[in-house]
Each structure stands twice: as structure tokens, then as C-alpha cells.
Amino acid sequence: MLAASGLEDRLRQFPSKMSGGQQQRGSIARALAHNPGILFADEPCANLYSKNSKEVLDLFKKFYTEKGRQS
């Protein structure tokens, strides 16, 4: 999930050393890694640049499409 969210190079980095957007993408990756049946995401792209926002929304869509769930 870290690779899918663009954070594969941050695997061993503490969240306090990451930007707000990187922390948010890390939280999303952590939530998706647990393979949730439902995911409530209140403003998942609030602190992200538009390019990263699109990537996060595409990640949600891809994850749920591959798992056979509705988005």
C-alpha cells in the first residue's frame, strides 16, 4: 500500500519527519492495508496537492474494484 500511495521510500521514516500530505497518504495506506469491508473517509484529500488527490481517489477506486466492492 505504501508503494501504491507513493510512499515506498518512507517506509522507515517517522511520521513527524514527513509533510502533512505524506502523513495523510500514510494513514490512507494503513487503512487500506487492513482490507476493510467499508472505509469512511472524511475529506481524504484535504491536505494534498491536486495531483496527489487524484492519485488517492484512483487508489480508492482501484482497491475497491479489485476487491469486488462498490465505491
- Put simply, whether the predicted model's pTM sits higher than 0.85 gets the answer no
| DSSP codes, 2-71 | TTTTT-GGGTTS-GGGS-HHHHHHHHHHHHHHT--SS---SSTTTTS-HHHHHHHHHHHHHHHHHTT---
Tell me the percentage of the chain whose pLDDT exceeds 90. 3
Could you state, in order of their start, the residue ranges of all structural domains in the chain?
1-7+18-71
Distance separating the N- and C-terminal Cα atoms of the chain: 18
Span 37-57, pLDDT tens digits: 787 888 877 777 888 788 888
Cα 58 from Cα 16, distance rounded (Å): 26
What whole-number distance in Å separates Cα of residue 32 and Cα of residue 10?
A: 17
Average pLDDT over residues 21-29: 83
